[in-house]
Chains A and B, each alone.
Chain A
């Protein structure tokens, strides 16, 4: 498997692979996300307690979940990059961080708009909200750190360390609703238990989750391709490729 996997560490192969995978992520992602959103926002039944306001869950929960898993994937990239000295992983971190920051921002924003009708306030200093805000700052820190180095190889190593240090925040976000039991409601869907949600409400949520995950993947792939081209501008294969177009 190692022999099969190893060529992809080279930027040229990674660029090709990202190009091949991109349509497979982008198209289903777009279709599923549209389907899930329309289903969730228009056709799913209204909640007996929260009324129509609950529909924001179809944007809020997928983006919040993904904001964390995107961070985890970034930290894994950092780990692989540092251990096996793979430059492509550093570029992947640079590609992932802004996508994650946007997801985190969407989660916070939709959360605030959900909080206004439900809790009567845009923002409370609740454990989960605060830790999600910290996550946003972590993303910003990583983007700023990467941008401020002239030498991008060094920048990649630095952000890898920073990304791995920030992983400590992920369990804090995830378990914050259980540990502190504050205003934010507990988990609605979980892998191991029966979801506390009616199936006709649950399906659009799951579809949206998958759709947004694929869309984020597509964005990351495209950003990775750009990053590789920008970093490797002097390489013959990039010059050839640009000439052909």
Chain B
């Protein structure tokens, strides 16, 4: 079923595809995070903004990835084979997912804490950066984990329209009846997703050292 000798002979193709796959999946996570934090902040602050942003995010998340990969060239004026389409599409999904996470996380910061920070003289901008955002990190990281794993899996759909990454080994393997190639693509994608998920859990523990401390102390 799996011909293990295929891997070393195809390493020259596998390694660049792995790199391309990661770039196509993770760049949108970074872009999405940068865009979603201010949007989530606005959605948390203003009720009308939330009433627009959250349903729009839900609507965008409803559109299948293949559809977005194909419609974006028409909207952006890019070539159909341009990897930018995949980056933009996955960034849109990441923003759609994270806006809600950020808004909910900020809303869940206890009012007392915000009031205490205000009383200590924190101005809104500094209070947001040093108090509210750090306290919403656990929820934000939960959202980032979902976005990262989903993106790593979704990049493979791009292979259907000829955009690189590990999905190529699935479509090419299917075309040639080479099951090893299909499994290589699938297994590497799943392993990448699990590795980056674990990495985010680890980062989460490092950046929120206070989580769980109170529980253990009691």
A binds B: no
Listed in ascending order, the chain A residues whose CB lies under 8 Å from chain B are none
Listed in ascending order, the chain B residues whose CB lies under 8 Å from chain A are none
